[in-house]
């Protein structure tokens, strides 16, 4: 059995997922493949080819571990709690996704593991929203990353030729045709991975929770304005509210095939993430400037921030720089055989 989990790109809707807001991601071709063989040994043996590392654990009693092992053990454990225990398996994990470059290698790995272990247990696939939630529990409880649902939903619901309008209030999705008419989307790695990426992300989450508390709303999705909030909470809220509007604008731009409008929304999203949400860093700013100098009509920081990737939209006839990885909507997580 072979399962494939894709990486993801997010067109618009950054730092909105944990505020019950809107996002516009799509799954990409690059991803993680898990080859799985059912065994009756009572053990899971896993091999991560990218690291030349192995893991072996009691399938009935996975214990915590770090790094990629946390995903394997956590997925086996969380599946068991939903009535899908693993009797034993041999797993081989292979990736063609640049890690740490902001394409969510973790959701790619998590979704592939989920489908592989379900296949090994000979169980039908449950509701994909539940699988996305399961993968999110693995990230929170086993990996220790307090992320939202953007990456997992994109991995499970991506469709070729479409962006996914995701409403994180209820995890409802709508497929929006994405045809760029000769324009191209690409991702450039800023090369920077700031050591405070995780603490910075968690701090933003805390600020949003605090702002919602002060405004008396369950989540910032329900906030009407940032009025009355002190600095910097007012700017955090202003980003979240304006970013939700930019997602709506992006859907409109895709539906009317207005690429200059989409490019302007990418630029506006970047300015908001830089000035109001303050998740950019000098290396990202340089990368944005570089792709714009190479002809990008719009570009923005993508993902959790404090380093990572830049998404850029190039008009027909421009040649993206060599280090820009072209991206297009591809199939979400699936069994290959
Ligand atoms: C990371 C998280 C996502 C989301 C983005 C910001 O990629 O994994 O859940 O919060 O940051 O939009």
- 124-145 residue pLDDT tens: 999 999 999 999 999 999 999 8
DSSP letter, residue 141: I
Give mean pLDDT, residues 166-194.
Answer: 94
Ligand 1 pocket test, candidate residues 15, 133, 153, 164, most atoms within 8 A of CB: 15
Question: Can you tell me the distance from the alpha carbon of 228 to that of 40, in angstroms, rounded to the nearest whole number?
Answer: 62
CA 14 / ligand 1 centre spacing (Å):
7
DSSP class of residue 17 equals G
How many A from CA of 16 to the centre of ligand 1? Answer: 8
The whole-number pLDDT of residue 260 equals 98
Selection from 320, 285, 329, 324 nearest residue 31 by Cα? 329
Q: Is residue 309 over pLDDT 80? A: yes
220-268 pLDDT, tens digit per residue, is: 999 999 999 999 999 999 999 999 999 999 999 999 999 999 999 999 9
Number of Cβ within 10 Å of residue 286's Cβ equals: 14
Instruction: Give yes or no for residue 195 having a pLDDT over 70.
Output: no
C-alpha pair distances (Å), 287 with each of 189, 277, 313, 321: 8, 18, 13, 11
To test ligand 1's pocket by mutation, which of 101, 151, 204 has the most ligand atoms within 8 angstroms of CB? 151
Residues framing ligand 1 (Cβ under 6 A):
14-15, 17-18, 104, 147-148, 150-151, 303-304
N residues, the chain: 337
Nearest-CA residue for ligand 1 atom 8 is: 147
pLDDT at residue 196, rounded to an integer: 65
- Is 258 known to be catalytic? no
Which residue in the list 17, 35, 55, 151 is annotated as catalytic? 151
């Amino acid at each position: 059995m072979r399962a494939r989990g894709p990486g993801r790109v997010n067109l618009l809707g950054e730092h909105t997922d944990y505020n019950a807001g809107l996002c516009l991601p799509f799954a990409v071709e690059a991803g993680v493949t898990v080859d799985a063989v059912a065994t009756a040994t009572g053990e899971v043996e896993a091999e991560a080819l990218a690291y030349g590392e192995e893991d072996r654990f009691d399938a009935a009693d996975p214990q915590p571990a770090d790094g990629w092992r946390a995903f394997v053990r956590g997925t086996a454990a969380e599946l068991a709690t939903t009535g899908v225990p693993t009797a034993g398996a041999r797993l081989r994990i292979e990736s063609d996704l640049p890690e740490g470059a902001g394409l969510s290698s973790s959701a790619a790995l998590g979704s592939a593991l989920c489908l592989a272990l379900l296949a090994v247990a000979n169980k039908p696939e449950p509701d994909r929203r539940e699988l996305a939630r399961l993968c999110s529990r693995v990230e929170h409880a086993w990996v220790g990353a307090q992320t939202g649902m953007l990456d997992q939903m994109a991995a499970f619901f991506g469709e070729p030729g479409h962006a996914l309008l995701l409403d994180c209030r209820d995890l409802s999705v709508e497929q929006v045709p994405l045809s760029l008419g000769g324009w191209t989307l690409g991702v450039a790695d800023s090369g920077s991975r700031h050591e405070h990426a995780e603490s910075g992300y968690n701090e933003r989450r805390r600020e949003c929770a605090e702002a919602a508390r002060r405004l008396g709303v369950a989540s910032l999705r329900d906030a009407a304005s940032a009025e009355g909030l002190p600095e910097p909470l007012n700017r955090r809220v202003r980003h979240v509210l304006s970013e939700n509007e930019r997602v709506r604008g992006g859907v409109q731009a895709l539906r009317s095939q207005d690429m200059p409008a989409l490019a302007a929304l990418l630029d506006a999203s970047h300015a908001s993430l830089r000035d109001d949400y303050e998740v950019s860093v000098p290396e990202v700013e340089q990368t944005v400037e570089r792709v714009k100098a190479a002809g990008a009509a719009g570009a923005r920081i993508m993902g959790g921030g404090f380093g990572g990737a830049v998404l850029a939209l190039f008009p027909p006839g421009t040649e993206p720089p060599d280090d820009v990885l072209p991206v297009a909507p591809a199939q979400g997580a699936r069994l290959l055989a």
